[in-house]
């Protein structure tokens, strides 16, 4: 069943092309779309309400051949928009459909790595809502599967704010030396959702909700309508703070805001991780949290420290007249000659010190300015059909979330961890290594 008909279709197209039947050979992995009428993708949407709504417009130019949602009302919502698609409640069944070549995952965080792995292992292009995984192991397996297949498939993690031009303007300032030598980078987010623990059993799931599939690979928790009370697109705030379903603000707004830093620092995996914050609650992820990571030098900068703050914990402002708390979700870069402070849309350059005269800043000419990436979802759709290159592929997105999830482990262990990124192992804490992965409910396979 793995390597399904897409691969066969690709092989067929290659052989027909080779036989001189009038096709031309595209790079490996691009033939599925080329084969479908009008050069369209055959997309399965897993999750058909909530965040999925934000993707309906972008994908309406393609063939939506399958829809899957554990809530039959939500499935009907998707089917109204795409009536020709086959419908499913179990994503494992859905991915067996032979004509699917691309998948969009907009389900709960604890299912992302599962669905992504299964789709990649079947030769499909994947767009996955953030975060790519809930554990270090999950993010590493998805990334490794992607890297094995990167000449055949296009992937994108759903951090769509990345398309804002300010991301590249910040990168240019940092990289071109506007703050001298980069030494530290900070990102923070101030969304605060406090819960005491999992909600207790209350009522019965509606007949239209396949609750056991909603729980999926997570340990079982009884039904409570609390998990479903959010409006479309914000219901994630009803479950993502519970350890078995999400990673709180680390995977939520953290995915978007650390991206401002990640895009500018060209980092790989960290060599250390530390975490501090509110007292550990085994049921609920922390609101107050500060994590810090050491990153070695690369070819354009020296070693740096990367920080993540949330829930009111904040980096120190360089000047009293700059109130960082007025930036709900933001980032700051510290260099030997000053600071860049930014949010998603705007930035401030703060040269600092008596010799901060900007003569060291190699401001780029107009023709060297990084071009806009354009529409974020379109970036993935176009890549599926052409060169497979996206801006937030599972290598980029998988590495940054691995760092963040390692930080959560450091917070739980309460110790500075030394990390071997090549092996994905902590070298100074067995307790931490045990927290890099999770046990799943019987019947669910992460890398199927
Ligand atoms: N990129 C962004 O800006 C952004 C914004 C909001 C949410 N998100 C992400 O999107 C995802 C969904 O968030 P949401 O608020 O839409 O959540 P949600 O609780 O509304 O769930 C989305 C849909 O998935 C369905 N679903 C749940 N489990 C499923 C399963 N196993 N198989 C198939 N369908 C399933 C639900 O019934 C629902 O229709 C989350 O991972 C969240 O982090 C991203």
Look up the pTM and report it: 0.93
Overall residue count recorded for the chain in this entry: 448
Which is nearest to 63 in space by CA: 105, 102, 93?
Answer: 102
Tell me the mean pLDDT in the region 128-140. 98
- pLDDT surpassing 90 at residue 440: yes
Domain boundaries, the chain: 164-193+249-370+395-434
For 53-78, letters b (16+ CB in 10 Å) and e give bebbebbeebbbbbbbbbbbebbebb
- Give, using CA atoms, the residue closest to atom 40 of ligand 1: 108
User: How confident is residue 38, by pLDDT bands cut at 50, 70 and 90?
Assistant: confident
Average pLDDT, whole number, for the chain? 93
Encoding tokens for residue 157?
A: 């993690």
User: Measured between alpha carbons, how far is 416 from 310 in angstroms, rounded to an integer?
Assistant: 19
Residue 151 CB: number of other CB atoms within 10 A? 10
Q: Which atom of ligand 1 is nearest to the CA of 109?
A: 41
What is the whole-number distance in angstroms between the Cα of residue 50 and the centre of ligand 1?
6
Neighbouring-strand partners of residue 44: 66, 103
Q: Is the Cα dihedral 20, 12, 82, 133 positive or negative?
A: negative
Q: Which atom of ligand 1 is nearest to the CA of 49?
A: 39
User: How confident is residue 21, by pLDDT bands cut at 50, 70 and 90?
Assistant: very low
Radius of gyration over alpha carbons of the chain, in Å?
22
Tell me the mean pLDDT in the region 230-241. 97
Which is nearest to 206 in space by CA: 74, 92, 83?
Answer: 74
User: How confident is residue 37, by pLDDT bands cut at 50, 70 and 90?
Assistant: low
Segment 311-351, tens digit of pLDDT = 999 999 999 999 999 999 999 999 999 999 999 999 999 99
**Is 167:260 a contact under the CB 8 Å cutoff?**
yes
Tell me the mean pLDDT in the region 381-410. 98
Q: Which atom of ligand 1 is nearest to the CA of 77?
A: 39
Mutate to test the pocket of ligand 1, among 72, 236, 249, 379 (most ligand atoms within 8 A of CB): 236
Q: Are strands 304-310 and 289-295 parallel, antiparallel or unpaired?
A: antiparallel
- Give, using CA atoms, the residue closest to atom 34 of ligand 1: 69
What is the whole-number distance in angstroms between the Cα of residue 280 and the centre of ligand 1?
26
Mutate to test the pocket of ligand 1, among 45, 95, 105, 106 (most ligand atoms within 8 A of CB): 106
Tell me the mean pLDDT in the region 265-271. 98
Q: Is the Cα dihedral 32, 35, 38, 44 positive or negative?
A: negative
- pLDDT surpassing 90 at residue 33: no
Tell me the mean pLDDT in the region 225-233. 97
Segment 174-186, tens digit of pLDDT = 999 999 999 999 9
What order of strands is seen across the sheet that includes strand 304-310?
347-351, 338-342, 329-335, 182-189, 304-310, 289-295, 272-277, 417-420, 425-426
> HEC profile for the chain?
CCCCHHHHHHHHHHHHHHCCCCCCCCCCCCHHHHHCHHHCCEEEEECCCHHHHHHHHHHCCCEEEEEECCEHHHHHHHHHHCCCCEEECCHHHHCCCCCCCEEEECCCHHHHHHHHHHHHHCCCEEEEECCCCCCHHHHHHHHHHHHHHCCCCCEEEECHHHHCHHHHHHHHHHHCCCCCCEEEEEEEECCCCCCCCCCCCCCCCCCCECHHHHHCCCCCCCCCHHHHCCCCCCHHHHCCCECCCCCCCCCCHHHHHHHHHHHHHCCCCCCEEEEEECCCCCCECCCCEEEEEEECCCCCCCCEEEEEEECCCCCCCCCCCCCHHHCCEEEEEEECCEEEEECCCCEEEEECCCCCCCCCCCCCCHHHCCCCCCCHHHHHHHHHHCCCCCCCCHHHHHHHHHHHHHHHHHHHHCCCEEEECCCCEECCCHHHHHCCCCCCCCCCCCCC
Residue 8 CB: number of other CB atoms within 10 A? 12
Encoding tokens for residue 289?
A: 């949290």
Determine the pLDDT at residue 8.
37
What is the whole-number distance in angstroms between the Cα of residue 105 and the centre of ligand 1?
8
User: How confident is residue 29, by pLDDT bands cut at 50, 70 and 90?
Assistant: very low
User: Measured between alpha carbons, how far is 143 from 416 in angstroms, rounded to an integer?
Assistant: 25
**Is 51:234 a contact under the CB 8 Å cutoff?**
no
Tell me the mean pLDDT in the region 256-273. 98
- Range 164-193+249-370+395-434: architecture per CATH: 2-Layer Sandwich (3.30)
Q: Which atom of ligand 1 is nearest to the CA of 46?
A: 33
Task: State how far the alpha carbon of 370 is from the alpha carbons of 173, 358, 365, 366, 445, in Å.
Answer: 11, 21, 10, 9, 41
Ligand 1 site: residues with CB under 6 angstroms? 46-51, 68-71, 74, 91, 106-109, 111, 129-130, 158, 160, 213-214, 216, 233-236, 252
Q: Which atom of ligand 1 is nearest to the CA of 216?
A: 31
Q: Which atom of ligand 1 is nearest to the CA of 74?
A: 39
Residues whose CB is less than 8 angstroms from the CB of residue 3 and which lie 6 or more positions away in sequence, other chains included:
122, 123
Mutate to test the pocket of ligand 1, among 44, 47, 91 (most ligand atoms within 8 A of CB): 47
In percent, the amount of the chain with pLDDT more than 90 equals 92
First-to-last CA distance in the chain?
Answer: 11
What is the whole-number distance in angstroms between the Cα of residue 423 and the centre of ligand 1?
31
Mutate to test the pocket of ligand 1, among 46, 51, 74, 161 (most ligand atoms within 8 A of CB): 51
What is the whole-number distance in angstroms between the Cα of residue 388 and the centre of ligand 1?
25
What is the whole-number distance in angstroms between the Cα of residue 378 and the centre of ligand 1?
20
Determine the pLDDT at residue 5.
35
Q: Which atom of ligand 1 is nearest to the CA of 227?
A: 19
Encoding tokens for residue 55?
A: 């993707």
For 101-140, letters b (16+ CB in 10 Å) and e give bbbbbbbbbbbbbbbbbbbbbbbbbbbbbbbbbbbbbbbb
- pLDDT surpassing 80 at residue 1: no
User: Measured between alpha carbons, how far is 220 from 240 in angstroms, rounded to an integer?
Assistant: 15
Tell me the mean pLDDT in the region 98-126. 98
What is the whole-number distance in angstroms between the Cα of residue 421 and the centre of ligand 1?
30
């Amino acid at each position: 069943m793995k390597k399904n008909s897409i691969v066969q279709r690709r092989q067929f197209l290659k052989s027909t092309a080779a036989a001189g039947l009038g096709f031309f050979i595209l790079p490996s992995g691009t033939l599925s779309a080329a084969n479908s009428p009008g050069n369209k993708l055959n997309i399965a949407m897993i999750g058909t309400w909530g965040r999925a709504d934000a993707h309906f417009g972008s994908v309406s130019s393609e063939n939506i051949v399958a829809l899957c949602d554990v809530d039959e009302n939500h499935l009907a919502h998707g089917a109204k928009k795409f009536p020709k698609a086959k419908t499913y409640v179990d994503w494992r069944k859905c991915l067996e459909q032979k004509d699917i070549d691309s998948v969009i995952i907009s389900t709960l965080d604890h299912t992302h790595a599962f669905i992504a792995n299964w789709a990649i292992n079947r030769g499909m292009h994947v767009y996955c809502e953030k975060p790519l995984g809930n554990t270090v192991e999950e993010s590493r397996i998805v990334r490794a599967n992607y890297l094995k297949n990167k000449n055949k498939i296009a992937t994108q993690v759903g951090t769509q704010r990345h398309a804002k031009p300010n991301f590249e303007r910040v990168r240019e300032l940092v990289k071109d030396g506007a703050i001298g030598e980069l030494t530290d980078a900070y990102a923070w987010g101030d969304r605060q959702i406090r819960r005491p623990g999992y909600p207790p059993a209350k009522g019965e799931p509606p007949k239209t909700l396949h609750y056991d599939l909603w729980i999926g690979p997570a340990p079982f928790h009884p039904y409570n309508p609390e998990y479903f009370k959010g409006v479309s697109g914000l219901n994630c705030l009803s479950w993502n703070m519970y350890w078995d379903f999400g990673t709180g603000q680390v995977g939520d707004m953290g995915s978007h805001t650390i991206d401002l830093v990640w895009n500018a620092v060209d980092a790989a995996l960290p060599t250390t991780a530390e975490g501090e914050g509110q007292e550990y609650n085994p049921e609920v992820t922390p609101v107050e949290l500060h994590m810090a990571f050491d990153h070695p030098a690369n070819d354009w900068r020296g070693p740096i420290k990367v920080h993540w703050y949330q829930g009111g914990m904040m980096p120190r402002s360089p000047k009293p007249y700059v109130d960082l708390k007025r930036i709900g979700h933001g980032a700051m870069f510290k260099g030997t000659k000053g600071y860049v402070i930014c949010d998603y849309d705007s930035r401030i350059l703060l040269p600092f010190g008596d010799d901060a005269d900007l003569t060291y800043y190699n401001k780029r000419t107009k023709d060297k300015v990084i071009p806009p990436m354009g529409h974020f979802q379109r970036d993935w759709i176009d890549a599926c059909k052409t060169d497979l290159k996206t801006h937030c592929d599972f290598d980029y997105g998988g590495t940054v979330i691995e760092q963040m999830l390692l930080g959560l482990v450091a917070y739980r262990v309460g110790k500075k961890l030394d990390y071997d990124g090549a092996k994905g192992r902590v070298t100074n804490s067995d307790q931490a290594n045990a927290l890099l992965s999770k046990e799943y409910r019987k019947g669910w396979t992460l890398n199927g």
